[in-house]
Amino acid sequence: MTIKLSRRTLMVVAAASLALPAMAADKVTLRMSTPASETDQRSIALAEVFAPAVADFATYEPHYNGSLIAQGSELETIASGDLEMSITSAQELGQFFPEFTIFATGYVHQNAAHQVAVFNDPLMDSFKQKVEDELGVKLLAVMYLGQRHVNLRQSKSELTVSTPSDLAGVNLRMPGTDAWQFLGKALGANPTPMAFTEVYTALQTGSVDGQDNPLPTVVDAKFYEVTSQIALTSHLVDLNYVAFSKAVWDGLSADQQATVQAAAEAAAESGRQKQLEKEANLVSFLTEQGLDVYEPDLTAFRDHVQAQYAGSELAASWPDGVLEKINALGN
């Protein structure tokens, strides 16, 4: 299925490349489709750092809250020539290239710095090249989304999460890809696929018991208004990649390409530092909002989650030796 889709999208990208207009005089319009809100640190960084850096030859046009392209469809839309930019997850890329699920595995990335080291290491070269060659998407930089935790409607007195067994029967919203759903099961929960834009209402009405996201996202999306606790599971040091149309990239001059690359990296670094600072200050804010915020047995969670991946179909798709290289880049 992946090969068939990749061939189709590759042919479409090739056609889009041939049809791409000259860019010498006119500015390129770079439409960014993201499910994130305008106040998300990734959105702010791209608008305040990336956009001004490329303004001489490109107009950055962001579309927030999945208002332009539905979440999960951005990569195919870039490949078809109908979108220039998005932020994409390893889980979404794993739908096309199963080996990318290694970067979406629980407790693999250690922290934000480790993410950058992995992305910039030669071990990523073959991953990036495959996305370019088969999907027509160029991965420019890695953005730090934060450490994901379990955020529930139930109060701590109703449900205290100490080990994965405590999440049995909990309907935990997770994005709909196989990698996300696997992670939800590995945590011990009943993963429920749902678009990000639907989560607030689902929590409010009780359609789901909880969701998992970094603390800044919990605050930014106001999930704290409709939940009662956060178990600091730190199960995923989450990331997004800045995804850019390879057809548009190939139409830029070498100097413009260098500017786009540097701008994406600068935006990623700006967002990363602000996100880290925000994370550090949010526990007290969430506590003030009435939420119980506490740390469960992380060793129990880590051991259980990693055991679920060992020998799984997802792990079978990982290239030999890559996990060891990722670990070696950590502390």
pLDDT single digits (tens) 23-70: 445 899 999 999 988 988 899 999 999 999 999 999 999 999 999 998
Task: In whole angstroms, give the CA distance from residue 206 to residue 194.
Answer: 13
Q: Mean pLDDT across the chain, nearest whole number?
A: 91
pLDDT at 45: 97
pLDDT in tens, 250-272: 999 999 999 999 999 999 999 99
This prediction's pTM = 0.79
Q: What is the pLDDT of residue 7?
A: 40
The runs of H, that is alpha helices, within the chain are: 2-19, 41-45, 51-53, 74-79, 90-96, 112-120, 125-135, 178-186, 199-205, 215-220, 246-250, 254-288, 298-309, 313-316, 322-328
β-pair partners for 242:
87, 141
> Please, what is the end-to-end C-alpha distance for the chain in angstroms?
38
Tokens of 254: 């070498």
**Confidence tier at 179 by pLDDT (50, 70, 90):** confident
Distance CA 28, CA 38 (A): 22
Segment 224-242 shows an average pLDDT of 96
C-alpha span between 34 and 54 (Å, rounded): 19
Say yes or no to pLDDT of 10 above 80.
Answer: no
